[in-house]
Amino acid sequence: MTPRKKRIAIVCSILAGMAIAAALILTAFEKNLLYFYSPTQIVNGEAPTTRSFRIGGLVMNDSVKRNKDTLDVSFVLTDTINQIEVVYNGILPDLFREGQGIVANGKLQENKIFKADEVLAKHDENYMPPEVAQALEEAGADIPHQQYSTAQ
């Protein structure tokens, strides 16, 4: 084995070793890397009940209820299969609207209502001018978040 071939072998074994190590670590931590749970996972009891965790889903249409005097707000999160009711006290991000994907951090209470400490909006990978979005909507095409102006 020439020194050069030896060095090639060393480089290849570094790359292979790191790839295997990373694959093993990522598989082992798969649950922890999950940034949020879906309503279905929560209904199935996969989410932790004792500590706080994050829930992600779409805000259901006509589900946002605001208290007139306080910052209290409640809404229903859905992944189109199951729903979870969420209550929150605080300022919502600009992108929060019905039909929008959001991620909330908080705890699941005994009564199966999720009490959020923090609500983050999750914007999607679609970019288009408002006119295009409107035209798509008129044509009956499925654009991700059709609800735009309600309940801001």
Partner 1 sequence: MYLPKWLHQFGAPKYFYDLSLCISRWAGIICIICFICGLYGGLVLAPADYQQGDSFRIMYIHVPSAWMSLFVYMVMAIAGGIGLIWRIKLAEIVARSSAPIGASFTFLALVTGSIWGKPMWGTWWVWDARLTSELILLFLYLGYIALQSAFEDRRVAARAGAILALVGIVNIPIIHYSVEWWSTLHQGPTITKLDKPSIHLSMLIPLLFMVFAFKTFYISTLLIRVRSEILEYECNTSWVKQLLGINNGIK
Binding footprint of partner 1 on the chain (CB under 8 A): 4-5, 7-8, 11, 14-15, 18-19, 21-22, 26, 30, 33-36, 38, 56, 92-96, 103, 118-134, 145, 148
Q: What is the CA radius of gyration of the chain?
A: 22
Evaluate whether 116 touches 86 at the Cβ level (below 8 Å): yes
Evaluate whether 129 touches 137 at the Cβ level (below 8 Å): no
Q: Toward partner 1, which CB reaches closer, 113 or 121?
A: 121
Q: Toward partner 1, which CB reaches closer, 18 or 62?
A: 18
Least separation, in Å, of the C-beta of 45 and partner 1?
18
Least separation, in Å, of the C-beta of 65 and partner 1?
20
What is the C-alpha to C-alpha distance for residues 39 and 49, in angstroms, rounded to an integer?
Answer: 14
Alpha carbon distance, N-terminus to C-terminus of the chain: 71
103: left (phi over 0), alpha (psi -120 to 50) or beta: beta
Least separation, in Å, of the C-beta of 111 and partner 1?
26
Q: Toward partner 1, which CB reaches closer, 94 or 110?
A: 94
Least separation, in Å, of the C-beta of 34 and partner 1?
6
Q: Toward partner 1, which CB reaches closer, 19 or 71?
A: 19
Least separation, in Å, of the C-beta of 138 and partner 1?
13
Query: 108, 61, 106, 113: which is closest to 86 by C-alpha?
Result: 113
Q: Toward partner 1, which CB reaches closer, 25 or 62?
A: 25
Long-range contacts of 64-71 (CB under 8 A, 24+ apart): 64/98, 64/150, 64/151, 66/151
